[in-house]
Amino acid sequence: MNKIKGYNNWKELASKELKDKSLNDHYWETPEGIKVKPLYTEEDLKNLNHQIGLPGLPPFTRGPRATMYTNRPWTIRQYAGFSTAEESNRFYKEGLKNGVMGLSVAFDLATHRGYDSDHPRVVADVGNAGVAIDSIEDMNLLFDGIPLDQMSVSMTMNGAVIPVLASFIASGEEQGCPREKLTGTIQNDILKEFMVRNTFIFPPKPSMRIVADIIEYTSKHMPRFNSISISGYHMQEAGANQVQELAYTLADGKEYIKSALERGLNIDEFAPRLSFFWSIGMNFFMEIAKMRASRYMWAEIVKEFKPKNNKSLALRTHCQTSGVSLMEQDAYNNIVRTTIEAMAAIMGGTQSLHTNSFDEALALPTNFSARIARNTQLILSEETGICNVIDPLAGSYYVESLTSSIVQESKKLIQEIDEVGGMVKAIEMGIPKMRIEESSAKRQARIDSNEETIVGVNKYKPTEKQEINILSIDNEEVRERQVSRLQKLKKSRDNKNVENFIEKIKNVAGQKGNLLEVCIEASKNRCTVGEMTSAMESVFGRHNLSTKTISGVYKNSVKNDGKIDVIDRELDKFIKNKGRRPRMLVVKMGQDGHDRGAKLIATAFSDLGFDVDIGPLFQTPEEAAKQAVENDAHVIGVSTLAAGHKTLVPLLMESLKNNEANEIKVICGGVIPPDDYPFLYKLGVAKVFGPGTNIQEAAIEIINLL
């Protein structure tokens, strides 16, 4: 080894650097408040807050199975639903031919909210963002030619979980697959819906009863089926940092255990079939450490309930790469992002994985983009050698220290939940929702201030226009086909029998009994998803969420690089000219409950000096127009994510015209394909903002528009 001037060897130089106070004082603080040093050594492994252990043994930090991927790789899933059951069926079969090992079903928003396709409130939602399922007939088409006794099926469903799962079970039996042979997972995670995703139907108490009904039924009759997938994914998508995602998801799991135990079930009857679902974002090592921490912490939580079977302590998880990290600008960068996120999920020890397609910031994925996403997993599985070693990052000074810090910080949040009486009480008080919205606003402020780099968005911006083929769904055609199928079903079935089953569902909802059990029989007798939901709604009622926003977080977090001064000057001019501040109504129309964008815009614009109202979720265009007129708004900000803009925005413009309010400007923001911009501008929309828009720059544009 060559000598370095003044030092005998590299070891002496490294020792000098380690003792250098400036190096030891240099920390990077994560968004979770965890201080990360530039260098970790074996000293950092001496006081960990978790046990490392061995894979396949409690506390399962290193994985729930002893051999992990060396024996069997993770399950490659393709989460998808395309308009109709027939289209989705074709997509699934293509995926199965090309390496997909399990199906993950995305349902349309009408189905999520328990409406049949002919309901007047879902005119823009049928077939958008997923497959429309109105009855067992649609389920039969969805899985036609797919052997359900051999194929694992995961279903993302929470609100209308009883009628959808009932239709799946009934369809399997009509196919010749008895319920005890069905393999897969139903999400069935309603607490998360009240926090972030909002595709709830019933109030919290009956919703928790439904969760327990499903856990009870599946534990007795479906030994190969996971009764719940406790989901942190949508929390991170709504803006939660990784510590919040972990803590609130585990707290939800604890609440579900309590609910099942109150039903009289034994912990070992159902705990081994509970599963989890994580979002995997771009903070590579944080995501790996989060997954390791989750397994350790879940084992500790379940231990409190005194299980006798070690399998009850093991956290098994599905992962999906982040949707929020996908950017419209320079969209091919998303392929790289998804690959990095997939690697983090694999290094963290996931049991199954879905990789997002690069074009999902623009629209639903095409076959071309879905193939790239699918092949990303195949390449990682079969070309990298990752599967040759169990938990390769175990013992890493940095990874173990980070895991330990996440355990410590997550326990603080869980303690806060426990102190108010558990997650149901905390949700009623709005604690998790508020913390997540604060985190979301802080992150947006960092991005707008260029403190957090997103390549192609706030740094290294492309100079050439990208040409990307995107998938377009004809919502009107899909709805017509679904309505026609519904009409045919209602004419051919025994409607007297249907009425009897609707009454049975009402009776079970109001008294004792298992709702899933009665709905399986109702589904076999051709009761629709909407009819079964309506029967329960007549007893439980339909839940409405009050819309609140936080204040001050965005403005206190964003750096003033001169844009805020410009906004202040422009607002002063506006006030002098108009006699009041510009008033914006932020709306979410249709059945899409993803309100991160709407809440973020409402919060940030309010902090920047606008008067902001936010409409309730699930508004119709007519209701939104009426609210804008009554509130004397200058501008309506339409937040859209689920491809309903081509139906909903024209109806909004028509409603404004009918209310003689054409002077109210309409702007749109969210996941809108660039090819749709001319359509919206032709309607009279004043401005369209895509994903990754700088909020301060948008505020300046809007003031100038007004």
Report the alpha-carbon distance of residue 92 to residue 89 in Å, rounded.
Answer: 5
Q: Which residues are catalytic?
A: 79, 233-234, 588, 592, 594
Tokens read off for 58: 């409690």
Task: Characterize 345-378 residue by residue with b for buried, 16 or more Cβ atoms within 10 angstroms of its Cβ, and e for exposed.
Answer: bbbbbbbbbbbbbbbbbbbbbbeebbbbbbebbe
Report the alpha-carbon distance of residue 121 to residue 106 in Å, rounded.
Answer: 20
Return the half-sphere exposure (C-beta side, CA atoms, 13 A cut-off) of residue 502.
18
Element (H, E) at 321: strand 317-321
CB 240 within 8 A of CB 253: no
Report the alpha-carbon distance of residue 101 to residue 106 in Å, rounded.
Answer: 16
Ramachandran class of 188: left when φ > 0, alpha when ψ lies in -120 to 50, beta otherwise: left
Return the half-sphere exposure (C-beta side, CA atoms, 13 A cut-off) of residue 424.
14
Scan for tokens 């899409």, then name that residue. Answer: 592
Report the alpha-carbon distance of residue 161 to residue 286 in Å, rounded.
Answer: 32
Tokens read off for 23: 């190096």
Scan for tokens 């108010």, then name that residue. Answer: 420
Angstrom CA distances, 490 to 166, 170, 190, 494, 529, stand at: 19, 18, 30, 8, 13
Report the Cα 53 to chain-centroid distance in Å: 31
CB 660 within 8 A of CB 523: no
Report the alpha-carbon distance of residue 534 to residue 541 in Å, rounded.
Answer: 9
DSSP state of 200: -
CB 266 within 8 A of CB 309: no
Task: Characterize 574-583 residue by residue with b for buried, 16 or more Cβ atoms within 10 angstroms of its Cβ, and e for exposed.
Answer: beeeeeeebb
Scan for tokens 């709830």, then name that residue. Answer: 200
Report the alpha-carbon distance of residue 663 to residue 504 in Å, rounded.
Answer: 52
Tokens read off for 296: 């350790």
